[in-house]
Chains A and B, each alone.
Chain A
Amino acid sequence: MRVLIKRRVIAAAVVAGLCGSAADAATTITVAAFPALDAAVKAAIPLYKKLHPDVEIKLVSLAYADHHVAMTTSLATGANLPDVMAVEVGFIGKFAESGGLEDLGKPPYNAAQFKDKFARFTVPQATGPNGSLAAIPADIGPGTLLYRKDLMDKAGVTEADLTKSWESYIESGKKLKAATGAYLVASAADIKDIYIRSGLKDGEGVYFDKAGKSVVDTPRFVKAFELAKAAHTAGVDGKISAWSNEWSEGFKRGQIGTQMMGAWLAGHLQTWLAPNTKGAWRAAQLPAGAFASWGGSFYAIPTKAANKTEAWEFIKFLTLDKKMQIESFRKLDAFPALIEAQNDPFIDQPIDVLGGQKARQLWKVAAEKIPAIDVDKYDSIAQEIVNAELEKVIEQNKDIPKALADAKALIERRARRR
């Protein structure tokens, strides 16, 4: 009997507790994100709660790769879907084509009206093949050339030498190698990766044309392969892959003279890659007038999400609220996709790791010029195949046209279900 009473008391307490919390917050929305984007969400929660005290926000954060595997599984099964889903640019093409995300261009969202508010290359990235807008951009990674000013000075190389043309860039590398022993680029593939993205017009894809045909045997790729091979023949590439031990060690020991990547790399250099080289770096636009983007995050709403209205309100707050975008720009150095936020005075702040250079002004210019490239769900497969063929060209002296023809055949085989 006693046990029974006890049980009833507990049950009553539990029910009361549930009712109580339900009364406090009418809805709880779940946000799924990955680092470092989750920090932006974390920063947004208290600000959002001031405006909407009735909404609870639950943040679920997983490592980058795990997050996207988990989201794929959730979309597949329709279970455990968050209300707000963060998507990195590497997966946006796949997710946008899947049909598992709300078309934010349509009512009740009508996000198409905000298109011009964002960096111009971002919206096409989130647009599916049928014109649906699957996600709203949050932050971007304008591409930049970071170089070691001290090493270049020693070698008598100027910034103009590096950025004038690709030939002059590689030539500078020879001087750099001779004077300091440092490599110009970590990997020759970096040169190829920029070159295949340069000179693209809005609506063109890197690996595929509008009809979904692979374009990897075009002169753009031939030239990119030739440049990469020339860099390797000149001995200015370190054959170091990004994010490896050698890479960070190479930065720390001053063995890598330049690195082309998203502007956010400056922050990584300062915090963990090579804090000892603080002040020695400078930023420039990419060589030969190329503009490209690295990374970038989006927020989407799954079609089967439970609280779409609240989710949309929160996404609008994260992406369209100037104050919020400036907040994450200032605190997390996440380059805002919202153009209004790019005009914040923070853009004129000197950057320590770049020796006080006001490089964000430079990146803003880059963000305007990056072409609105069309993304394809087979881009990652194409990239893998092209990289493998470049490796054969560099290491085994494979003929370039042959390598690209092989790449094309492999890509079309794997993209068989277009």
Chain B
Amino acid sequence: MEAPMSIDRSGAAAPAKSRRRLQPWEWAPYVFISPFFILFLCFGLFPLLFSVWLSFHSWDAATGLGGMTWVGIENYEFVLGDEWFHKSLFNTFWLAIASGLPQHLVAIPLAFFAHTYLAKYRNTVVGIYFLPFITSSVAIALVFNSLFSRDFGIVNVVLTSIGNFEVAGLHPLSWLFPTTNIDWGQPQYTKPMIAFVVFWRYVGWNTVLYLSALQTIPHDLYEAATIDGASRRQQFWYITLPLLKPMMFLAVTMTIIGNLQLFEEPFIITSGTGGLDQAGKTAAMHMYNTAFVDSDFGTASAVAWVLFMLIALLTVVNNKIFSQKD
């Protein structure tokens, strides 16, 4: 009943309208939605802008906020010319490709297989593949550290027992398998090991993504193809893959973003150091160590923003690749 009255009171003049009191139904929605914006401002936008500001300063956090000094773009100059940053970027890309590509190459056929051939046990099988994704990273670190222990790990026990396999005084497999324990901590093994753990951890996640996309593809397409005499392989190639493309775009984008920010797995496997020769130190780890080990928060913020620009660039490229063929 009040609404028409307020219109009456405001008359025809526009300024009068803006002066009238706001009614509850007008401001209430903003109150209801405000918790998100308040939290986002405090914990999202403010840290974001503060880190931009910080990246132009020299700041050892232990000195308090008063210890910030303006250095202009010196942090960015240092980061872009820094050998350690280059190395960590190289490691990041190496790991992104070595762990990311197999994830999708395995997850798509796996999802197709689970979708087509497994009826009753599909959820169980997919659930098992998904399990590493929800496993605590500490448990993963413990398991892999004991598996790849040089002197006492089961991986070395298996490999050397194959390498030392003896037939009539000869070791026929010793050219392919090691005969003595491999030191998995050596720089040349660090990256493959991390890539394997990352692959193992996320392949189930991608399988679930692809499986859900497969379930949205209408069945009659396959029925029509079967009537037309298309084989299973042709169906996969000409129906499944093209229709999976939107999901592939999403999954690959997420893998790119996730892998370029890779932190947890290399951090726990190399106990925070990046391993010998920093072979397993990713850009995100470099950023963390610059801030919390070297206490150089300004440079660490610059690393973060350089990394952000790289990820943004790659996402754009990814977007272009996937939208081209449409």
Interface of A is mostly: helix
Chain B's nearest CB lies how many Å from the CB of A344?
Answer: 36
Q: Evaluate contact between B146 and A245: CB separation under 8 angstroms.
A: yes
- Residue interface bits B33-66, CB-to-A below 8 A is 1, else 0: 0000000000000000000000000101111110
Q: Evaluate contact between B64 and A380: CB separation under 8 angstroms.
A: no
14 contacts between A and B (CB under 8 A): A69-B292, A72-B61, A72-B295, A76-B63, A98-B60, A100-B64, A239-B150, A245-B146, A246-B151, A246-B152, A380-B294, A388-B276, A388-B278, A416-B78
Chain A contact residues, CB within 8 Å of chain B: 65, 69, 72-73, 75-78, 94-95, 97-100, 239-241, 244-246, 249-250, 255, 377, 380-381, 384, 388, 391-392, 395, 410, 413-414, 416-417
Q: Point out the residue from B63, B149, B273, B276 that lies within 8 Å of A100, measured CB to CB.
A: B63
In the complex, whether B277 has a CB less than 8 A from a CB of chain A is yes
From known contacts A72-B295, A94-B295, A241-B185, infer whether A388 and B277 are also in contact, taking CB-CB under 8 Å: yes
| Chain B residue total in the interface (Cβ 8 A) | 31
Q: Evaluate contact between B152 and A73: CB separation under 8 angstroms.
A: no
Q: How many angstroms between the C-alpha atoms of A73 and B47 in the bound complex?
A: 14
Q: Evaluate contact between B62 and A246: CB separation under 8 angstroms.
A: no
Q: Evaluate contact between A98 and B67: CB separation under 8 angstroms.
A: yes
A98-B62, A239-B150, A417-B58 known, 8 other contacts, Cβ within 8 Å: A69-B292, A75-B61, A94-B60, A94-B62, A99-B67, A249-B149, A249-B152, A417-B296
Q: Evaluate contact between B151 and A249: CB separation under 8 angstroms.
A: yes
From known contacts A72-B295, A241-B185, A414-B294, infer whether A95 and B277 are also in contact, taking CB-CB under 8 Å: no
In the complex, whether B293 has a CB less than 8 A from a CB of chain A is yes
In the complex, whether B183 has a CB less than 8 A from a CB of chain A is yes
Q: Point out the residue from A65, A239, A377, A410 that lies within 8 Å of B295, measured CB to CB.
A: A377
Q: Which residues of A contact B61 (CB under 8 A)?
A: 72-73, 75-76
Smallest CB gap from A73: residue in B: B61
Q: Which residues of A contact B295 (CB under 8 A)?
A: 72, 94, 377
From known contacts A69-B292, A245-B152, infer whether A78 and B65 are also in contact, taking CB-CB under 8 Å: yes
Q: Evaluate contact between B293 and A380: CB separation under 8 angstroms.
A: yes
Considering the complex of A and B, which 7 residue pairs feature the smallest CB-CB distances, nearest first?
Answer: A98-B62, A76-B61, A75-B62, A98-B63, A245-B149, A72-B61, A249-B152
Q: Which residues of B contact A97 (CB under 8 A)?
A: 60, 62
In the complex, whether B212 has a CB less than 8 A from a CB of chain A is no
Q: Evaluate contact between A77 and B293: CB separation under 8 angstroms.
A: no
In the complex, whether B6 has a CB less than 8 A from a CB of chain A is no
Q: Which residues of B contact A392 (CB under 8 A)?
A: 277
Q: How many angstroms between the C-alpha atoms of A4 and B64 in the bound complex?
A: 46
Q: Which residues of B contact A98 (CB under 8 A)?
A: 60, 62-64, 67
**Which B residues from 72 to 90 make CB contacts under 8 A with A?**
78, 82-83
- Residue interface bits B269-294, CB-to-A below 8 A is 1, else 0: 00011001110000000000000111
Q: Which residues of A contact B78 (CB under 8 A)?
A: 416
Smallest CB gap from B69: residue in A: A417
Q: Evaluate contact between A246 and B65: CB separation under 8 angstroms.
A: no
